[in-house]
Amino acid sequence: MKELLKHLREYISVSEKEFQQIETYFECFEVKKKQNLNSFKNISNYNFFVVQGCLHMYFINEKGENQSVQFAIENWWITDLLSLHRNKESVFYIQAVENCRILSISKKNQEKLLAEFPKVERYFRIIYQIALGASLYRIKFLYQASKAERYFHFIKHHPEFAQRIPQYLIASFLGLTPEYVSEIRTKAFLKQV
Amino acid sequence: MKELLKHLREYISVSEKEFQQIETYFECFEVKKKQNLNSFKNISNYNFFVVQGCLHMYFINEKGENQSVQFAIENWWITDLLSLHRNKESVFYIQAVENCRILSISKKNQEKLLAEFPKVERYFRIIYQIALGASLYRIKFLYQASKAERYFHFIKHHPEFAQRIPQYLIASFLGLTPEYVSEIRTKAFLKQV
């Protein structure tokens, strides 16, 4: 669990001794590519931290297609936070894009952890603050950018995702069809030749 | 500042005596309708809590139009959190939709407040967690709903905003033109007659 300790230490000070206590609240497990971590209409009872691999969160749209709304690679947290907070059924699925090593913490254990180590509140406050700030930039981007700009901006500014995530999932995440992404990639390639 | 105390107490326990200390970190001020609280390309140094009134956050799109991305009414916080966190220029403006009473806290004072009252970390962690969870539902909604659905869903589920915010701002917030909103409202009205 040294990855989690390293990530905590980017925001708060944690001694080795404290971490020996902190890690008891987590479970470590592996998921295979395409395996689901939660199911639609289940209440999210866990928060997931990606040690290795890549997850995505999606819903099934009216056409019956998976529509991605979030990716999570190493050191990212992912869950349906509203479902977790309000004990309501989730509208999302979480699935492994690659084989993954994950740390999970139950809602109950997270409450106990925060009661024992209030400074971990600071860690979560800061990472949620950054993610919330970024979400408004994402909304701005969705309103502002053309469909082609969405794609080329994403692969330029998020190479860590673009290099490992299949094109059809990136297309879905950006609200585009795989056919459209294929078309603009071909056009861009032909311009370069 | 009793509104802030009441809101804090929804998430954490705060005594009157503690609040006498907490409130010293805030400044209370009024802004008139249409007045701006920050300026594009300024670094956001303040977090704002709405005591009374309504603010919105917007950027100026390529057509030179204001594009709203967030509203904040009573008990809501609003700022460009990424600009605040990273000390980078903001890409957003914050403007009063109505005459407002606002509490502001500077980044420096917020750090001091959190150092003196670590439990306020918990308050911010929870409200950011809820807002971040809600932001994914918003992305889902933007991908899933038709333009007309966006509008009618918003006015049905957020009457507290719909009743007081001008139509052209609601249209902007939903990524629609005022003309389009006017058209679908007329159609819906004619159906009822």
When divided into structural domains, chain A yields a total of: 2
Same domain (yes/no): A149, A135: no
Complex ipTM tops 0.90: yes
Q: What's the pLDDT score for residue B63? A: 87
Q: Over 70: is that where the pLDDT of A107 sits?
A: yes
pTM over 0.80: yes
Work out the percent of chain A whose per-residue pLDDT is above 70.
98
Query: Where does a domain end: A124, A143, A162?
Result: A143
Tell me the residue range of the domain where B41 lies. Answer: 2-143
Question: What's the rounded mean pLDDT across residues B86-98?
Answer: 93
Q: Residue A14: which pLDDT band, with cuts at 50, 70 and 90?
A: very high
pLDDT (tens digit per residue) in B105-120? 999 999 999 999 999 9
CA nearest B61 in A: which residue?
A144
pLDDT (tens digit per residue) in A27-36? 999 999 999 9
DSSP state of A23: G
Same domain (yes/no): A76, A154: no
Same domain (yes/no): A187, A133: no
Q: What's the pLDDT score for residue B106? A: 94
Spatial contact of B107 and B48, defined as CB atoms under 8 Å apart: no
Instruction: Label each residue of chain B as H, E or C.
Output: CHHHHHHHHCCCCCCHHHHHHHHHHCEEEEECCCCEEECCCCECCEEEEEEECCEEEEEECCCCCEEEEEEECCCCEECCHHHHHHCCECCCEEEECCCEEEEEEEHHHHHHHHHHCCHHHHHHHHHHHHHHHHHHHHHHHHHHCCHHHHHHHHHHHCHHHHCCCCHHHHHHHCCCCHHHHHHHHHHHHHHHC
Instruction: Label each residue of B145-185 as H, E or C.
Output: CCHHHHHHHHHHHCHHHHCCCCHHHHHHHCCCCHHHHHHHH
CA neighbor of A72 nearest in space, from A126, A112, A127: A127
Contacts of A126 in chain B (CB under 8 A): 85
Same domain (yes/no): A54, A121: yes
Same domain (yes/no): A48, A138: yes
Answer whether B137 sits within 8 Å of A91, measured CB to CB. Answer: yes
Q: What's the pLDDT score for residue A1? A: 79
Same domain (yes/no): B82, B26: yes
Same domain (yes/no): A107, A193: no
For residue B62 the two structure tokens come to 């390529």
Same domain (yes/no): B42, B16: yes
Same domain (yes/no): B127, B183: no
Q: What's the pLDDT score for residue B146? A: 87
Chain A, residues 68-87, CB within 8 A of chain B, namely: 69-70, 80-85
Q: Residue A162: which pLDDT band, with cuts at 50, 70 and 90?
A: confident
pLDDT (tens digit per residue) in B38-63? 766 687 899 999 999 999 999 998 88
Same domain (yes/no): B188, B136: no
Q: What's the pLDDT score for residue B41? A: 64
pLDDT (tens digit per residue) in B137-183? 999 998 888 888 989 999 999 988 888 999 999 999 998 988 999 89
CA nearest B57 in A: which residue?
A136
Same domain (yes/no): A106, A171: no
Q: Over 90: is that where the pLDDT of B13 sits?
A: yes
Using the Cβ of B124 and the Cβ atoms of chain A, whether some distance falls under 8 Å is answered with yes
Q: Can you give the CATH number for the domain in which B107 is found?
A: 2.60.120.10
Same domain (yes/no): B139, B179: no
Q: Over 70: is that where the pLDDT of A40 sits?
A: no
- Residue linked to tokens 């971990």: A120
Contacts of B140 in chain A (CB under 8 A): 59, 67, 69, 91-92
Contacts of A67 in chain B (CB under 8 A): 140, 143-144
Q: What's the pLDDT score for residue B44? A: 84
